[in-house]
Structure 1
């Protein structure tokens, strides 16, 4: 009986010694993020005909 307890304690000690470890550390090199982004835009302006005539006559176009 005492022998079983000693064996179980020794086995528990061995199992605790083999527990996995996790290390959290920053990477040695910086993290690079490459973004290839193409932005297309289109602007549409609608002007009233009367206002369009005024703008064309004044030379603001």
Structure 2
């Protein structure tokens, strides 16, 4: 897996944690931050997967 894919997956999980904690303590800003991190992480992870696919196709 590419560096981007790993970073994206990590960011997505951090976002999920932030969202969960924010919901648990009633902090809407933390929930929003978590949702943003999840979306950004998912995009980065998808980019990493696409990059891997291109790399495999050109080998």
Q: What TM-score comes out, normalization by structure 2 length?
A: 0.37
The structure with the larger Rg is 1
Please identify which structure carries the higher helix content: 2
Q: What TM-score comes out, normalization by structure 1 length?
A: 0.36
